[in-house]
Structure 1
Amino acid sequence: MKTIKTLLAATALAGVAGAASAQEMTMKFGHVGAPGSLFEASVNHFAECVNGAMPDKVQVQTFGSSQLGNDKEMLQKLKLGQMDFSLPSSIMSSVDDSFGIFEMPYIITSRDHMRRVQDEMMDTFQQAANDNGYHIVGLAENGFRHITNNVRPINVPSDLEGVKLRTPNGVWRLRMFQEYGANPTPMAFSDVFTALQTGVIDGQENPYAQIASAKFQEVQEYLSITGHVYTPAYILASKSKFDGLPDDVKAGLTDCANQTQDFTYEKAAELETELLKEIEDAGVEVNTADKAAFIEASKPVYDAFAAEVDGAQEMIDTVLGLGDSG
């Protein structure tokens, strides 16, 4: 009889332990960033924050370097429930037109400006994400983008004439570089190094953190500091999956996303100085482009966005009004 009671007690304890372990969710976070990238640092910070804050409830696992697919594939996997978070950036303009506002050249002038835009307009972007089946847990960044290539230094837009330039998949980035005279080619980030190395493309445009971590300085001769676009990154989840989480888990994830944004902005500012030197030290010739000439050449892109996207002119006016000189 004592043996039976012992067995029953052990079974009950095993059941309790099983229920406890069942409560811990393993959540997969995929991104395209290479080791040493700002994306990797941001995602790791988020994971460490969540795992530390909710050790018995959530375990976030990270998968960089496009291990779970390129940005487009990961957006699909979020909806299919095959992963839990991704960190898209420019590709969000292909999810909903409203994210195209961040594709407008030189519209965001600083991280403080971006915070003001976020405070004023986050409901607009969250609604756009929700309408397409996603939830923005928080914002990080990709950063201020610059041009590298193997043809010539880029000082003014006409220097881009005929340059085969990789861009992310987004209609407005294509339109912008077509307007500047380049030959833009959308391509997954994971394919860019080989395409540069083999001459399939002449150049690409990215923040220093992506350029350096992906080793583009090994296969590029020129870096032109254009700062033509600032791209936020989005800690993104499936709306249905996020909505189904317990309230305390949702709150914990959101809090860690907010902490990660603070970390990301600080880290990004540090990297801008460190990584420019790293790229220069690799033998890349660096020049500062004529920003005024690029701004002048960008007007048709704004006009097209305002004409083709409902509410775009109001968004443009709002963002510009929140600018550092606004």
Structure 2
Amino acid sequence: MISKFKIFVLALTICATTLSAATWKYAMGEGLNDPQGIYATAFKEFIEENSRHKIKIYPVGSLGEETDMMEQTRAGLLQFLGQSTGYMGGTIPEMDLFTLPYILPTNTQQLDYFFKHSKVINEMLPSVFHQHGLELLSIFPEGEMAITTFEAFHSPNDLKGKKIRVMPGSPILVETYKAFGASPVPMSWGDLIGALKTNMIDGQENPTVWIEAYDLDNLTNVLTYTGHGHFNASASANKQFFDALSSRDKKLIKAAAAYAHKVILKEAQKLDAYGLGRIVRTNPSFKIVTLSKKERAPFIKAAQKVQESFADKSDSNQDILKQMRMDLKQAMKNGN
């Protein structure tokens, strides 16, 4: 027979275990089947398989626009946030680093090496995030950027006067497309489809996986790879929430982030390739163009001014850009 004391101790243990279990909210700027959704799902599965905690995921549109989710996370209403780095520049200026044209390589192995081993990501940006009330968990690539337009272009001159939609919140994106000769139009994702249907804009940029998934190829005529960048995303936590956790839960979250990071690095490459393949099979009249080295040269030259502009904005920007270039040299050397 169990003694009253043992029953009391057992009751306390059950109570403590129940109290230690929590449901954490994770909002993101994409759907469950998109790269951020794949990352969030892997993160959720790891947490729930290795603890009593639960994760409730809020896909794109559930809790407002990207800026709304950022503010809700910083205010502590959300515990976790998945967001494109392109949306973060307005809040965390250093994150425009990942939007700079012609910085990141197009080689996926080099890119993966960079996102795994970069000192900028692993050593410098965490303290920057702390200043904004966030704990950085991961930064990962979603796919090479492509530009879809109604008419083909092969030079900055061809883009003159063309209204190209860019993500809101990133001054660097505006500077980039001005340098490329176009007229950038910051616009939310929710307004993009209607703008293309009504010819309010002449084109937009996104990774291939998004272009195929949301039928952007059926709303334009040409997809062009300029080699100017990748679409990248981040995962972060509210810092006050994270700091208040037990050391065990902190380790759990870091381990979940590392696991999800491995998952998405593999899956993102597949999604991008599958997206392009489906476009080729289902939309044969859609033109796909890859600019030649000679055609890219004037875009690369124009991009140098944007890179310099980013570095001139602050000492912090200058420092992380310098380190990023060193990180990328290592990636080019070892990421093969």
Task: Give the TM-score band, short-chain normalised.
Answer: 0.7 to 0.9
Q: Summarize deviations over 1:129-154 as a string: whole Å, max 9, x none.
A: 1011111122333332111122x123
1:243 aligns to 2:232 (yes or no): no
Secondary structure (helix, strand or coil) at the match of 1:145 reads strand
Secondary structure (helix, strand or coil) at the match of 1:94 reads coil
Tell me how many residue pairs correspond in the alignment. Answer: 316
Measure the CA separation in 2 of the matches of 1:173 and 1:10: 63
Question: For residues 166-315 of structure 1, what are the structure 2 equivalents within 5 Å?
Answer: 166-168=165-167, 169-283=169-283, 284-289=286-291, 290-315=295-320
AA matched with 1:302: Q
2:43 equivalent in structure 1: 46
Measure the CA separation in 1 of the matches of 2:32 and 2:192: 16
Q: 1:31 touches 1:65 (CA, 8 Å); kept in 2?
A: yes
Moved more, 11-20 or 31-40: 11-20
Identity of aligned residues (%): 23
Shift of 1:172: 0.5
Shift of 1:71: 1.3
Question: For residues 74-93 of structure 1, what are the structure 2 equivalents within 5 Å?
Answer: 74-89=69-84, 90-93=86-89
Shift of 1:308: 2.3
Measure the CA separation in 1 of the matches of 2:83 and 2:69: 9
Shift of 1:10: 10
Measure the CA separation in 2 of the matches of 1:259 and 1:62: 17
Normalized against structure 1, the TM-score is what? 0.88
Measure the CA separation in 2 of the matches of 1:163 and 1:69: 29
Secondary structure (helix, strand or coil) at the match of 1:322 reads helix
User: Relative to structure 1, is the Cα distance of residues 14 and 204 closer, same or farther in structure 2, using a 3 angstrom cutoff?
Assistant: farther
AA matched with 2:64: G
2:100 equivalent in structure 1: 104
Large movers: runs of 4+ above 6 Å: 9-16
Shift of 1:62: 1.3
Shift of 1:120: 5.0
Moved more, 236-245 or 223-232: 223-232
Question: For residues 71-150 of structure 1, what are the structure 2 equivalents within 5 Å?
Answer: 71-89=66-84, 90-109=86-105, 110-115=110-115, 118-119=118-119, 121-150=121-150
Normalized against structure 2, the TM-score is what? 0.85
User: Relative to structure 1, is the Cα distance of residues 192 and 205 closer, same or farther in structure 2, using a 3 angstrom cutoff?
Assistant: same
Q: 1:117 touches 1:319 (CA, 8 Å); kept in 2?
A: no
Shift of 1:60: 0.8
User: Relative to structure 1, is the Cα distance of residues 33 and 199 closer, same or farther in structure 2, using a 3 angstrom cutoff?
Assistant: same
Secondary structure (helix, strand or coil) at the match of 1:140 reads strand
RMSD: 2.5
AA matched with 1:256: A
Structure 1 unaligned residues grouped into runs of 5+: 1-5
Shift of 1:170: 0.3
AA matched with 2:325: L
